[in-house]
């Protein structure tokens, strides 16, 4: 997405004029301990300029990610898109399965599925 491009997390296929995004360049130069990053978001409500999370380059954010950490293959070579097999919270669970896209520019994980939009509202509230 546009924001991921600004942060340097987009794929080279989406880069302008053949530019190599910073994350990909760091991976190519073996500057990271592992070729991964972790995005942690903290809800701050209507507050502006508050601590809203962080990005950890080269590893898993062990302070904010619960174990076990699992990995899914990407289903798009352009976006952080993957097959979501299921989702659950204290009051909700679904294992329907759908394509999802993680976007660090939004706190919404996108899907074209109408069922998912209703599921999303059930889990996270308005704004899905």
φ/ψ region of 78 (left if φ > 0, alpha if ψ in -120 to 50, else beta) reads alpha
User: What pLDDT shows up at residue 2?
Assistant: 47
Cα–Cα dist 56/35, whole Å: 11
The domain spans of the chain are 72-128
- Say which residue, 113 or 59, is predicted with more confidence: 59
Cα–Cα dist 108/41, whole Å: 11
- Say which residue, 120 or 38, is predicted with more confidence: 38
User: What pLDDT shows up at residue 57?
Assistant: 92
Helix, coil or strand: residue 110: strand
User: What pLDDT shows up at residue 1?
Assistant: 45
Residue 6 has pLDDT above 90, yes or no: no
How much is the pTM?
0.66
User: What pLDDT shows up at residue 30?
Assistant: 96
What are the strands, taking DSSP E only, across 2-128?
Answer: 37-41, 53-57, 81-84, 87-88, 93-94, 98-101
pLDDT in tens, 34-73: 999 988 877 777 777 677 788 899 999 999 888 888 888 9
pLDDT in tens, 72-112: 899 988 888 888 888 777 777 888 888 888 877 665 555 55
User: What pLDDT shows up at residue 112?
Assistant: 52
Cα–Cα dist 99/111, whole Å: 6
The dihedral through the CA atoms of 58, 63, 68, 74 has a sign that is negative
């Amino acid at each position: 997405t546009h924001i991921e491009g600004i942060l340097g997390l987009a794929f080279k296929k989406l880069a302008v004029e053949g530019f190599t995004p910073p994350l990909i360049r760091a991976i190519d130069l073996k500057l990271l301990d592992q070729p991964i990053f972790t995005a942690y978001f903290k809800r701050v409500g209507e507050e502006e300029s508050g601590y809203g999370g962080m990005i950890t380059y080269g590893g898993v954010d062990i302070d904010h990610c619960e174990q076990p950490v699992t990995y899914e293959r990407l289903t798009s070579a352009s976006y952080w898109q993957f097959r979501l097999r299921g989702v659950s919270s204290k009051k909700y669970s679904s294992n329907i399965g759908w394509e999802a896209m993680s976007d660090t520019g939004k706190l919404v994980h996108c899907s074209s599925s109408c069922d998912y939009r209703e599921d999303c509202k059930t889990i996270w509230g308005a704004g899905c």
